[in-house]
Structure formats: C-alpha cells, structure tokens
Amino acid sequence: MLLTGGLKSLLPHVLRRIIRCNRLSISNTSGMAEGYKQANVVILHKSLADDFEKFCRANDGPLPLLYRSQPGDWKCPSLSSDSDIRTDCPQYRVYEHGACTGSLKSLKEYSEQLKDMVTFYLGCSFSWSNVNSTNSPYVEQKCNVSMYKTSVPCYSVSTFCCNLVVSMRPIPESKLEAAVVATSELKEAHGAPVHIGDPGLLGIQDLSKPDYGDPVHLHPGDIPVFWACGVTGVEAVINCRAPLAFTHSPGCMFITDLKNDKVRSSRGVPQVHCISQDPLHFSIVSAEAAQKIQALETLIGIDPGDRGIIHLQHQGELLKACLAMSHAHSVLITTGFPTHFTYEPPEENDGPPGALAIAAILQALEKEVAIVTDQRAMDLNKKIIEEAVQLGILKKPIPLLSYQRESADSALLFLCENGNPGKPRYDHLVAIERAGMAADGNYYNARKVNIKHLVDPIDELFLAAQTIPGVTTTGVGDGGNELGMGKVKDSVKKHIKNGDVIACDVEADFTVVAGVSNWGGYAIACALYILQMCEIHDRYLRRAVGFPQLTKRMDWLLALPSVTKEEKLLKTLVQLGVRSGKTASLEMEVDGLPFYNTHSLMIEKLL
C-alpha cells in the first residue's frame, strides 16, 4: 500500500491509476494533486437526472456542476483523459431508498445497474488546498475536513430537497479577507464563504461534532469560516429516496486533469467586515459597493449648521450599520425629539422623514419593521404613518408601539418573547433624531433645556439590547444629544456647543452622523439598496443557494426616497403642526434649512 507522503505532487492520471489498483492507504484526498480540480460524485438513475441537474443549477454554491455524463458512460472526457468512475474514487457509498447500505472501494459489481445511471461531477473545495492555506489545518492534523448539516434550506426541485451542508476551516482573523478574495475566484470549487463567525447562526450546535469528516482544533484567534459543500448532494440523494444511488464517500473525491485556474469574478473584489461580536458575525460586500456607500457617508457628512459634527464622524459606520440591517429579519425604529416644549406638538420635523425612508426600504426588502415612540405622541405618529401610506412612501401601515418602564425587566420583556434573551423579537434597533439620555439621566435639546417630562425611556431598549446576543443597534444624529451618540460622547463634550451637558450617554453599536439626521435616514435607505444590488453580498445573504431576486429590483427602487415624496411628506408634517428644529417655523424647512435647493438637492445627490 502507498502512504500519503508525496501524493501532493503526483499528477492526477497517476493518482487515479493508483486509486484504481486499490494501492492507497488514505481516508481523504485533501492535499493531493495540488493545483488540480477535485470533484464530488453523485450517480442517479437516468429518470432523476434532469431534475437533479436543475437542483444543481438552483444551488450552484454547494453544487457547481462540472460535468454530467450520458447514461452508462463511465468516462468524463472533458475532465480527464483516462478515467472510470466505477473505480477512480478511493471510496463510495451505496444508498437504497435513502438509507446508506454500505461503503465500497469499487462499483464494478454494479456495472449492469450503472448502464441506466447518470454521473454528476460537482466542484469541490479540496481543489483549493494550495489557496492561502485554507486546508492546511486538516493537512497538518492529518484528518478530513469538518462538514456540518445546517438549518439553511436549499432551493427544492421536485423530489430533491435538503438543507445546505457546509465545510469549515479555521482562519486567523488577519487572513480572513485574503481567504475570501482567493476562494471567490474559484466559483467551480464553491467560491467565497457563505458564513463567517458563530456556527449557531447556521444552526450548527457543536463544532466538535461534525456530521461528516473529522473535528479540527481551532487555535486562539482563529475564526470559523464556512463554505458551501458538495456533500449537500449526498443529503439530496438521501431525501429523494431513490431505489439505488451512489456517491463518493465524503472526503474521497474524484481527481480531474483540470488545472484549478483562478477566474476573476465579474462580481468584483470582496471585502470582509465584522458586524457583531456576540455572536461573532462577519459580512461580505464588494469593494465597489463599499466605495459607493462611503460616498453616501461623505455626502451626508457636511455640516450646514457649523456645529462641529466632523469631530463625531468615524468612516465606515454607515456601511457596518447597513450590513447589520441587511442581515436582520426584524427591525425596530424609534424617532421623536420634542425640542419645542412650548408648542403642541413639541416634535421637530427632523427624524420622522428619515425614519420612514428606512422603514420603506425595509418593507420593500420584506423585513419586519415596527416603530416605537412616546405614548403622548402616538396619535401624531399614527397620522404620519397613515399619510405616508397614502403618499406611497410606505407599502402598508407599520405597527406603532410605545414603551413604558413598569419593572426592572420591562425592556427585556419588550424586546424578547417572555423576556427570554434567546428569543429576541428584533435583530436590529435604529434610533434616528431621537432624544437621548444624558449622563445625569435627563434629556436636553441643543439649547441645554431639559425636556425629560416629554420623553419616554426608550433608551432602556438600547441598553437592554447590549445584553441580548444577536441584537445590534444604530444611532443616527446631527448634534450629539441623540440616542446612540454615546459612542462618541467624549468628542461631543469636547467639540459641540453645550456638549458637556447635552451629550447622550447611551451608546449604539454604530453611529451615523449627518449634517441633518433625515439625511442619515435617506443614506441608510440608499445604502441598503446598494447592498441588495451587490452580487457578492446577495450571494452571502442567501448562503449561495437559490437565485438572486433581481425581479424585485423595481420594488426596491420605488421604495427609495425621492424629492417628490419627501416634499409631500414635509407638507403633511407642516399641516400637522410639526415644526423646524432650529427655528420652530411651520415652513418648508428642516433644521432651519430650506427644503428646496438644500434638502431636495441632498436627496438628488444621494440617489
């Protein structure tokens, strides 16, 4: 028997000949024939072949189709010069009516049955064993790659339905982006990862107990990175319960003669960004999309009121906030700054338009969205939401909620089912131009007037969110006294007028600082659209299964703010007595700046 030493440099046709003669003592083909493509194998009756091909095309992340044979054809001329699929994998599995009934070194005894069967050769991550040492932990530890069943459903076709299977490689955080960039160029070997971070987000409970392959040790600083895996095909075979089917034994691949050439992806170059520490979660976006979102952030960062907000801005916050929202299923929005305490209503008109712009795009993206506001302002906000539906800003009314502190657990009970942190109702909280609690427990407008009597303690929801795994928060503001701006409170105290008193003390995970808070809401809407249109991010969101939802592009586009919609909304706010923040004027202005040629121009620039 030959041992594994030196197999790395052998040519594929030599390796296949050795495997065919049953002269290898190996448990998997990882690291063999370095630089050549390896393939997962599924063999099915010809009556199932068309549906299985459609299943592969619909889930091309885990099942990139390299070749489909004719019935009874044991060769694959486009992949190898001399091969016999009955003998050229180190080990096979036999499935009968969905049950694995045995493992074999050769399928020759089934030659008669194979005459009516079709072989599918599917791309494999073993092909990139020489890419940025992504497989090196397994080579070093002399074990098979860890593979896990997930809770992610594949796109079903006829009898073929199953959940995605993933392979995992531990990657040092400093090498994450290099690994993502390198593998994204290898589409026929599963391409870029489908998840980076906490395995629980894929429904994987214990990394030490893989469903296929061997466990691998993670070193301090390693991040678990998950790629779509061809063993998904094995799960599909099990679930379709075919009378007879064959697959490679996981890890025992067919080695092709094809060089593993990198193909520069038309989707662009991916970037990796951390969007949560608990649970650890990274997202992926193209460099082009990230650059566009950076341009949005720059646009809204001008300071027309000369307040000194440049000192509060941190580059990249808009991108990370929107990546977190893009991954969220349910978002809670809050707004309302009762700065005009001598008027009724005391609210200003900066905040609600931005909140509705965010809500509109979230609705279009089919996420659950709700708004929480002060109890005394419920009727006003109900009217604003009704008008927004009439104006075509919202597709349908948004649930409107209020929050009151009744006990120490009130915030947790509001945010989670039965107050259970393991069952949050919302993944993300957004505060936009919402009065924020200062260090002394009071709420101040920019002129240092305490307006606590008009503000419900919605800050408590943001404080509670910090203790709930999987819930992230964003604060949007333009002066430092808004909910969420606690992240930059030191800069507020140093650079903003009255900052030592008015600075909000409550932090958000991400702070979007804009010249006018509404602009921050418009920018978030535009950024979420950019992310949805980014092929790299879209693929990551759907875990490389199913299809891009580009047919919904027009719905997303129509949900974006426009000059016409925002003009009508501002007129509605004026009619409802909601005043400009700086001047208390009931004119077509926000924060003392005219709508026409200032706010309208900003909307046009963002679009």
Given the DSSP bridges, would you call strands 368-373 and 400-402 parallel, antiparallel or unpaired? parallel
- pLDDT score for 126: 85
Q: 7-259 and 270-575: same fold?
A: no
Q: Which of 415, 406, 515 is nearest to 465 (CA)?
A: 415
- pLDDT score for 138: 44
Q: DSSP of 439-450, one letter per residue?
A: TTS-BB-TT--B
pTM: predicted TM-score of the whole model, two decimal places? 0.94
User: In angstroms, what is the C-alpha Rg of the chain?
Assistant: 28
Helix (H, G, I), strand (E, B) or coil at 452: helix
CA distance 49 to 256: 22
> Where does 203-328 have alpha helices with state H?
232-240, 287-300, 317-327
* Type of residue at 402: S
Neighbouring CB atoms inside 10 A of 417's CB total: 11
End-to-end CA distance of the chain: give it in Å, rounded: 66
Q: What is the pLDDT of residues 164-219, one digit of tens each?
A: 999 999 999 999 999 999 999 898 999 999 999 999 999 999 999 999 999 998 99
- pLDDT score for 3: 46
Return the CATH fold of 7-259. PSTPO5379-like fold (3.30.2040)
Burial track 208-238 (b if 16+ CB lie within 10 A, e otherwise): eebebbbebebeeebbbbbbbbbbbbbbbbb
CATH class of 270-575: alpha beta
Question: Domain extents for the chain?
Answer: 7-259, 270-575
CA distance 167 to 569: 50
* Type of residue at 360: A
Contact 394, 363 (CB under 8 A): yes
Report, as ranges of residue numbers, the positions in the chain whose pLDDT lies below 70.
Answer: 1-8, 23-25, 129-143, 262-267
The answer for residues whose C-beta is within 8 angstroms of residue 569's C-beta and 6 or more apart is 352, 353, 356, 387, 388, 391, 393
Q: Which of 186, 581, 193, 202 is nearest to 354 (CA)?
A: 581
Burial track 41-74 (b if 16+ CB lie within 10 A, e otherwise): bbbbbeebbeebbebbebbbbbbbbbbbbeeeeb
Ramachandran class of 415: left when φ > 0, alpha when ψ lies in -120 to 50, beta otherwise: alpha
Contact 26, 5 (CB under 8 A): no
- pLDDT score for 11: 87
